[in-house]
Amino acid sequence: MIAHVSRSASPIARFGGQPIAIAAAALVIVVVGVTSITVWRAYTGSAPESERVVATRQLQARATQASEQLVEKTKGLEATQQESIDQLQMVQDQLQTVRRLLAAQQADSKKLSEQVGTLTEAIDGLRQSFASAQASEPSAGSGSSKRTVRAKPRSNRAATRTRAKARG
């Protein structure tokens, strides 16, 4: 009769009867691979481990150099930033001084405006007083008194001499 083969049997089960042969074949493959790698390294004269070490050292040197450059650039930026801060402080001080001067000038302008207003009021008062004095002068003198003619005003020196002679 026909033997019925189960489909559930795994490929490992097929080789299950000859485990020593499988182990020997795997050992031979591993030995051949290691030997071929050793021969290839001996023939080419290059060892990947030493190349890796050299490449790693070069990468470390580049990283160190890049770090040093970053540190230098950072210090340069710090110096530039400090200079900018100092210049900004100077500008702020100058601005504060200008503000104080402007405030003082505004106060002076206000004071002068008030003084001009006061003087204008005083001049207006004097004009009104003078106008009322002129208006009352012709009516008080109504033709009987002559108008006195005044002499030309003397200079300050002449007036001072005249006063000095009168005292002495």
Instruction: Provide mean pLDDT across the span 62-81.
Output: 95
Say which residues have a Cβ less than 8 Å from residue 162's Cβ, sequence separation at least 6.
Answer: 154
Q: What long-range pairs does 7-16 form, CB within 8 A, spacing at least 24?
A: none
Tell me how far the alpha carbon of residue 69 is from its chain's centroid: 25
Whole-model pTM: value is: 0.39
Read off the pLDDT band of 70 (50, 70, 90). Answer: very high
| Residue 69 exposure: Cα atoms within 13 Å on the Cβ side | 6
Give residue-wise pLDDT tens across range 8-27.
Answer: 555 555 656 688 888 999 99
Distance CA 137, CA 143 (A): 11
Residue 15: per-residue pLDDT: 57
Across 95-124, b (16+ Cβ under 10 Å) vs e yields eeeeeeeeeeeeeeeeeeeeeeeeeeeeee
CB 97 within 8 A of CB 89: no
Query: Is the pLDDT assigned to residue 154 strictly greater than 60?
Result: no
Percent of the chain with pLDDT over 70: 68
Whether 1 shows a pLDDT value over 50: the answer reads no
Average pLDDT over residues 63-70: 95
Residues in CB range of 11: below 8 A, 6 or more apart? none
Residue 116 pLDDT greater than 90, yes or no:
yes
Task: With a cut of 90, say whether residue 65 has pLDDT above it.
Answer: yes
